[in-house]
Amino acid sequence: MLAAELPHALEALEAVQRVVGARRPAFFLDYDGTLSPIVKNPDEAIISQHTRDVLRRVCATHSVSIVSGRSCEKLSDFLRLELNLAGSHGLDIRSPSGERRLHPIGTKVRHSLLEAKARLDRQLADVPGYLTEDNVFCISAHYRCVPIEMQSRVHDEVMALLRGQSLLQHKAGKMVHELRPAVEWDKGKAVEWLLRERVAPSLPVEQQVC
């Protein structure tokens, strides 16, 4: 079922409570647009103090993981909380204790990603409002603030960069083109890994459902 087809959790709270029952739920949250607002400058997507306080209270009694396209370093700086972080679309996973699970493809493509960022910065330097963001194992080409008549140029430059490039792949987001390692791994697979390796082992046997 698509997320758009699901009811709002707060509007279907009784149904959620029936499904959860006596089990303790784990929470997997995105960052941008979920914990913070979508903003023009990605560096200004600051979580509010109220949201941080609520998240801190949830972390005290439940397993909470943030799964985002942002790098773990940026997520840590934004959140300043002890929880699981799955950055770069799950290619880099870190626990509150500092344990790290890095996808093997990550270090292999880091140089290619840096070269891609440098090329985009160079080719699109004259495009007003354009911004390339380095998320370590993902490069994000933001065009939210680019004039409509110039947005196709950003797309064309990204596509030109990928021609003949076997290590990277393109993923389209909300007003952003992302360059990621060409590997079958994403946020969903990161959540499955976290459930299996981090969340389930910490639960009583009767509450383990995966």
19 falls within a domain: no
* Residues 150, 50 share a domain: no
Which of 48, 84, 54 has the alpha carbon at shortest distance from 67? 84
8 falls within a domain: no
| Phi (first) and psi of residue 98, to 5 degrees | 100, -5
* Residues 193, 94 share a domain: yes
Phi-psi region of 159 (alpha: psi -120 to 50; beta: other; left: phi over 0): alpha
Helix (H, G, I), strand (E, B) or coil at 27: strand
What number is the average pLDDT over the span 180-190? 95
Query: And the tokens for 60?
Result: 């005290």
* Residues 109, 97 share a domain: no
CA angle 79, 145, 147 (to 5 degrees): 170
Confidence class of residue 208 from pLDDT cuts 50, 70 and 90? very low
What number is the average pLDDT over the span 174-188? 95
* Residues 77, 133 share a domain: no
Rounded to whole angstroms, how far apart are CA atoms 19 and 51? 25
99 falls within a domain: yes
Confidence class of residue 203 from pLDDT cuts 50, 70 and 90? low
Say which CATH number the domain at 130 has. Answer: 3.30.70.1020
For the cut 50, the answer to whether the pLDDT of residue 176 exceeds it is: yes
140 falls within a domain: yes
The per-type count for the chain, helices as H runs and strands as E runs, is: 6, 9
Give pLDDT, residue 4.
Answer: 60
* Residues 194, 92 share a domain: yes
Flag the least confident range among 6-20, 123-137, 144-158, 192-206. Answer: 192-206
* Paired strand residues for 36: 32
Task: Tell me what the pLDDT averaged over the chain comes to.
Answer: 91
Tens of pLDDT, residue by residue over 25-57, are 899 999 999 999 999 999 999 999 999 999 999
Rounded to whole angstroms, how far apart are CA atoms 9 and 20? 12
Give me the domain span that covers residue 120: 105-181
For the cut 70, the answer to whether the pLDDT of residue 2 exceeds it is: no
28's enclosing H/E stretch is strand 27-29
| Total number of domains constituting the chain | 2
Torsion of the alpha carbons at 80, 48, 175 and 151, rounded to the nearest 10: -100
Give pLDDT, residue 126.
Answer: 98
